[in-house]
Structure 1
Amino acid sequence: MAFGHFSQGQPPEDPVEALRAELLAVKQASGLSYARLGARTHYAKSSWERWVNGKQFPPRAAVESLAAALELDPERLLALWERADEARADATGADEGGVGESANGAGEPEEPGHGAGGAAVAEADTSATPRQRPAGRRRLLFVGAVCLLGAAVSVAAVLATGGDSHDAPAASKAAAATGSAQPPTPQCRAAGCGGKDPAATHCGLDGQTLTLTRNKDIVIELRYSKACAAAWGRITYASKSAIVDADNSAGDSFATPVHWGNDVYSPMVAVTGRMTAWACGTQPNGGARECTRHMPVPGTPQG
């Protein structure tokens, strides 16, 4: 995997890697395990692990289901998916069939996910024989998927009222009670977000990567929420005990080590006015520390 542009603070040019990075960002912001993610989207947890970690390319229906389950605007995720899918088609000379697949695909599940009602649902077969996909058929399938997703969101909102309070966000419960699907409201802003979790406060839902760099194999990202006027650091491809920290020009700094897996994100720091923020990643056992560029609030005039 190439990281040639990371040292310059630029996102990866590979559309497939860009999609993988965004799926990881969404998962991290949701605070959900692979098992809970699978339960909400009706795809196996093993499938999400492969898709998020770049071992396999996700079907479009899975990306749509993810956006619906987490109450996200699907346009950004689907645009990234389209770019990645086109790049794969250009590379192979044939489309690999992500659009038409759904949670009820014909593939035999390795570890089937379970819906809110407890019934096992087969995961999609993402290794099907490559096939051409006419543009008209792709649009028809997309319209059909949107209709089905609308019904699925309504059912999920109703079922969420009887779910585990840690699994069903408060916004989903409120939506079930009112019959609407309103996005979660950020729970803090600016200085009030200092030291808080971006997922628990819903700040991660509009998170974007402002800049990134690397420390050997560790990828270091500075993530930012416009709604919360706050930023946080995230590291991936890291080892246990590696540390990520987020800092701002006001002197605030918050750090978190990797406890398990190979990624972690830090608590937030405020980024307002003329302030700048940056993220750093430190190798385990007091190893080398590298930081991203210092970034201002997006859109702030420089000079």
Structure 2
Amino acid sequence: MKIARYHLPDGESRLGRVEGDVLVDISDMPGVGTSLRAILPRLPELREAIEAADGASHALADVVLEAPVDAPQKYLAIGMNYAEHAAEAAAAGIPTPTSQFWFNKQVSCLNAPFGDVVKPDISDELDYEIELAVVIGQRCRHVPVEAARGVIAGYLVANDVSVRDWLAKRSPTFTLGKSFDTHGPLGPWLTTDDEVADPHDLHMVLTVNGEVRQDWTTGDMIYDIYDQIAYLTQVMTLEPGDILATGTPSGIGAPSGRFLKVGDVVRAEIDGLGAIENRIVEEA
């Protein structure tokens, strides 16, 4: 099942079930409404009704897709979680961690799947990172590895946009360089966990102006998704709607200095989950 947040031009945010190139509105169903985050814990019990919903239909081309999860409490991301990416990061001066390395992307960075990404005037080192993002579906703490899949609601395509000089030079942590406004495009919709046979066997591709920059599979993670959830929940309670970005493969712009420029179009696609596409624009 694929669930999107969307609005019609000049309309309010609503939820819809995605079927191919059509979106079927589900917001008027009993117990659903317009907040995906609110219904995540009840998705299993709502599934049958959502799949049978026959609300107003719209062509996807006629709606504006929004970031699928409304107002998540946390957006956490793991760094250097693919071996080749860790090597290229080391070449760019970022040391390879010896354990899971997590940082925050402040939720104010969230952006729509096809929203413009702003290149800040204060930096010329704007970079891209395709990532598989996990959306938590159940409030959880101290989750064992073998039970971790049970707390996952579904998956998104993410671009962990990064301002490299603020990562390496301007701030001692990753948080600021990862949290500029618009630098968290996500989507295009939530694909529920039951539709993904193995989240560690997905092909991902990122292009810039049609040129392939990243082309890898999620099977190359150093720490898999279930290890990540077990690790994090030793420290904190994860809530429905929390987003975990699970790492990026090699091919980022930093090692070669091929940073993003105004006018570039970045497309990130993961098999079975769809694609997001964002144009780089100058700061107003």
Shared fold (TM-score, shorter chain, > 0.5) = no
Structure with bigger strand share is 2
Q: If the length of structure 1 is used for normalisation, what is the TM-score?
A: 0.30
Higher relative contact order (CA 8 A, sep 6+): 2
Mark the structure with the bigger radius of gyration: 1
